A and B are shown apart, each in its own frame.
Chain A
Amino acid sequence: MDENIKYEKLRNIIKLYLPEDVSVDYIDIKSHLINDLNINSANLVDIVLDVEDEFDIMLENDDMDTMQTVEDALQIIDSKIANKNS
């Protein structure tokens, strides 16, 4: 999958969970989901479920713990897709 398409898809998922005063333009590859984007930590489980549905993968508990930034999420998605195809 094209890296840009993957990033766009992830951005679209994250967008819904942004507080009202955080614009979608703030989302950057280095953004920390909680510290930079002010996403409610309770919503991280929802982001994981959306990612699973969008990319047809399944994340483990450890993956959820390491998914701190947008970049982390992309790496996890990559490795899961790679595992699935191997």
Chain B
Amino acid sequence: MSRRVVVTGLGVCAPNGIGLKEFGDAMIHGKSGIRFIPKLKELKFGCQIAGEPQISEALLQNYFTPLQLRGLKASGIIYGVIAGTDAWADAGLKKAPDDRPDWDSGIIFGSGTLGIAKFHEAMLQVDEGQVRRLGSTTVIQTMASGISAYLGGILGCGNQVTTNSSACTTGTEGVLMGYERIKAGQAERMLVGSCSDSGPYVWGGFDAMRILPRNFNDNPEKASRPMSASAAGFVPGSGAGALVLESLESARARGAKIYAEVLGGAINSGGQRGEGSMTAPNSEAVQRCITAAVRQAGIQISDIDSINGHLTATAKDALEIENWSQALERNGKDFPIINSFKGLFGHCLSAAGSIECVASVLQFQLNKVFGNANCEDLHPDIEKLLPTGRIPKSTIDYRPNILAKASFGFGDVNACVIFKRVN
């Protein structure tokens, strides 16, 4: 059984915008979500800036009951529930009735580390011999699958409800896992997405690795510089993105709006062999992932007209462009239009893939390709491969037809998904 899979709903909780309208406007107009975080300065971080969704108390009450909000410290769950329930509503889907789950709908919602602020609170109590004071939500806020469990209960999904985790590949991997499940006829609808906690306990380890920019604390909006000669490391971010994937039959039967079709994709790993390591990609694996995605999607390498890269704003950006160029056997004017969204909201870690898939798919609807922030000084190795124009500095009017989106993560893992416009 092989069926076509389409995107019928989107939701997003990003550092530069919550909800499709605010986020879409921010992406079109290049509004940054990177801010100075006083707490990081207080804690003597080298990098004192980050991307964090701005959530008001009033907004929280639209998504959570007073009881759910009691002691809720897992920011990833907050972001994921906002994005996930928004995507569900955007698809025109209702919560299941009180007495019966929706057996044909499932959830694959990834996380990196979840509820770390709750964990911190719990550890302090445990160390003080106060384990009895932990309350009933320590487990559900800190289990990796907390986010899919919360969403599963809110929406009443009765199909597979799970969490995947593959570092910065998580969100893109989740799209492909949901796609496979629907394609195989095991579900009609899958809510896919991912979330990432915010805060010093998540970002500290990256600061210690000295891979975050340290010279932009006074100038946060300029700090995230994918593809730039002056890129100084990735700016840590957080948030969540969510997509409702649905069989074409189900979408048509419901008369649902269709954003795009998921043509296919590929997931692989470089095995941390050759030039690949825990933290560096094996280029051959990256190229194989891209070509396998093209093959699996049933298209030609020449069909891709736009790319949303991983492109985190480290020294590896030029290598990524080189890998795309090799895999697609295209360069110069022949190369697809390429962008990185991280210039505007940083690297949202386990949420990166899903937020960026949401933005990628939004481009089809808006007939735009969002601009690249902070790459006015293109890296010379990238400039050699691509003449300017393939890397728009600001948002352009363009009707993408086939878009490739890739994410790469620690552990030498890769995922590439192919989206197509549906007319």
Contact = CB atoms under 8 A, between A and B. Distances in A.
A45 B136 contact: yes
A20 B65 contact: yes
A49 B66 CA distance: 17
A17 B65 CA distance: 10
Contacts of A46: 70, 135-137
A16 B66 contact: yes
B209 interface: no
A42 B70 CA distance: 14
B105 to A, nearest CB: 22
Contacts of B66: 16
B44 interface: no
B58 interface: no
B228 to A, nearest CB: 50
Interface in B110-137: 133, 135-137
Contact of A16 (B67, B135, B136, B137): B67
A30 B135 CA distance: 25
A43 B67 CA distance: 10
Contacts of A16: 66-67, 70
Interface residues of A, number: 8
Nearest to A48: B132
Interface string B130-154: 0001011100000000000000000
Interface in B53-87: 65-67, 70
B67 A45 contact: no
A45 B135 CA distance: 6
A42 B140 CA distance: 11
Interface string A24-64: 00000000000000000011011001000000000000000
A9 B10 CA distance: 44
A17 B70 CA distance: 10
A17 B136 CA distance: 12
A37 B345 CA distance: 46
B67 A49 contact: no
B25 to A, nearest CB: 34
B67 A17 contact: yes
A44 to B, nearest CB: 8
Nearest to A59: B132
Q: Which 7 A-B pairs have the closest CB atoms?
A: A42-B136, A46-B136, A45-B136, A46-B135, A16-B67, A43-B136, A49-B135
11 contacts: A16-B66, A16-B67, A16-B70, A20-B65, A42-B136, A45-B135, A45-B136, A46-B135, A46-B136, A46-B137, A49-B135
